[in-house]
Structures are given as structure tokens and as C-alpha cells.
Copies of this chain bind each other. A is one copy, B any other.
Amino acid sequence: MSAPLLEQFIEALRVLPGVGQKTAQRMAYHLLDRDRRGGARLAEVMADALMKIGQCKQCRDFSEGEICGLCASASRDRQQLCVVESPVDRLAIEQATGYRGLYFVLHGKLSPLDGIGPRELGLDQLGERLAQGGVEEMIIATNPTVEGEATAHYVAQLARQHGVRPSRLAHGVPLGGELEYVDRGTLSHAFGSRSEIP
């Protein structure tokens, strides 16, 4: 009985992650009832962003221009390169740590069954960049999953081929966590990698 356009609107909202039928309905009705202006602006900015935002030629992070602001910045340390799976990971590291080097975004992880190989992750591009020299340490910050570890292994080899020192994030018990609730694999790893108290 509803207007078809309203149904299309609700259906279209479901492309957003974590948004099902009920939430989409609530969102559509909220915008129509209370914030048409904000909604119109969102539609405009969204269309604009999806059309104009591409990838930085150097780090493959999202960027409007050819080179992103971070890669172009003169204040970053060009001897360190941190490899992450996705732009969200880059953001998390940027917000949480004092890292001042550059990044390289893979936009995924090696997954041969899904047809995602080194090419799809831009690893040829990463190889070229390392070949140009200047990078001394490559911090590999892929996720600690099976596929992430495989990717890290591959990327580390690539680094060694170009004489770059690979490193990875420490694994162990999270700060503020309780040993009782830490999963076995993490606890076993943390126990094995214990360090001496100076």
C-alpha cells in the first residue's frame, strides 16, 4: 500500500552495513519526517564522494587528489612504511599511536579462493616503491587472522627481497583484559613471548 518510491528508498538504505529492514524503515521515516534538509545534503555529499574519492597513487588510501595529504606531508618520516589491510586500520593506528611514518593500504588480504592475489592487493606497486629505496623498516599491521598472517608472510618476503627490515605488531594479552577471558591461542602466544622484567 506504500508509495513505491518509499519502498525503493527503504530497500536502497540496506546497502549500509548493519542496516536491515527495520532500521532502514526507521531511517527513511526519520529523514522524511524530521530532517529532509540533512537527508538531501547526505544524498548530495554521498554521490559526490563516491564519484570523486579515488585511491592515492602512493599509498592506495582513499584520496580526492592523486596523492593523499598524508603522503604529500613533509613532516612524515619516509623511512618507515606501515602496511595495513584497510583504510579503517590506518585510521585506527593514526588515532591511537604516535606513528609518524607513511602507510600502504592493501584493501584486502591474500585469499586465492576469492581470486584475491598479490596483484589485487597492489603488491607489485608496493614492490616498485621499495625498489626506489628510502624505506628502512616495514611495519606489517595486517589482522592476526589466518589470511592476515599469510599476507604478512608474503609482504615480509617482499620487504626482505628489497633489503627492507620487516616488523610486525606485538601479539599478547590486551591491556585491561583479564587472563581468565583471554582466548587460548593469545594466552599461549603471550606466555611463549614473555619478556624479562628489567
Contact = CB atoms under 8 A, between A and B. Distances in A.
A96 interface: no
Interface string A56-68: 0000001111001
A8 interface: yes
B8 A49 contact: yes
A32 interface: yes
A89 to B, nearest CB: 10
B17 A63 contact: no
Contacts of A94: 1
A69 interface: yes
Contacts of A4: 64
A92 to B, nearest CB: 10
A120 to B, nearest CB: 13
Contacts of A97: none
Interface of A: 1-6, 8-9, 12-13, 15-18, 23, 25-33, 35-36, 38-53, 62-65, 68-70, 73, 86-88, 91, 94, 107
